[in-house]
Amino acid sequence: MNAVIQVASDTGKFDRGLKTILHDKLHWLNVHERIEYKLCVMVYRCQHGQAPRYLADHLIPACKAAPHGRFIRSANQNCLNVPRCRLRIYTAVWAFHYAGPTVWNLLPEELRNSNSFDSFKQFLTTILFSCY
């Protein structure tokens, strides 16, 4: 990505401000933000039946994960159950069944309850750019 930014903006290899060029001129997300974007889009597709079943099976709504049928506040907020991760190793934390619900639950409620896929993607991009 840095090489493309350098070519597009006519900057040198060691010039500062590549992140601002990435956001302001090219309207691209950073690598970490792009990963979050892809995770959120995949979780949205899983919840709306547009993704493979083997991925959707890993996502459990918070209302179904409550023990003994108790009512929890996140039941109406379209949150997902984040499974316990005993080992905090890199691969376990970034597995889809853990990382997907973690990133999804951090989104605003109106974004999680979006009905249109196009409006979801547009609002998600706006939120990720505003976090910069």
| pLDDT greater than 90 at residue 117 | yes
Tell me, yes or no, whether 57 lies in a domain. yes
Q: Above 70 in pLDDT, residue 92?
A: no
pTM score, whole prediction? 0.75
Q: 122-125 long-range CB contacts below 8 Å, 24 or more apart?
A: 124/37, 124/40, 124/41, 125/29, 125/37
User: Domains in the chain: how many in total?
Assistant: 1
* Cα distance between residue 75 and residue 63, in whole Å: 4
Whether residue 12 lies inside any domain: the answer is no
pLDDT tens per residue across span 45-90: 998 899 889 888 888 887 765 565 555 565 566 788 887 776 666 5
Compute the distance between CA of residue 1 and CA of residue 96 in angstroms, rounded to an integer. 24
Whether the predicted pLDDT of 121 surpasses 90: yes
Domain for residue 64, yes or no?
A: yes
**Token pair of 21, please?**
């060029």
Q: Domain range holding 120?
A: 30-130
Residue 3 lies in a domain: no
Would you list the DSSP string of 83-121?
---S---HHHHTSHHHHHHHHHHTS-HHHHT---HHHHH
In the predicted structure, residue 22 carries a pLDDT above the cut 80: no
Q: Report if residue 25 sits inside a domain.
A: no
Cα separation, 31 vs 101, whole angstroms: 19
Is residue 62 in some structural domain?
yes
CA distances, 83 to each of 98, 105, 126 (Å):
6, 13, 28
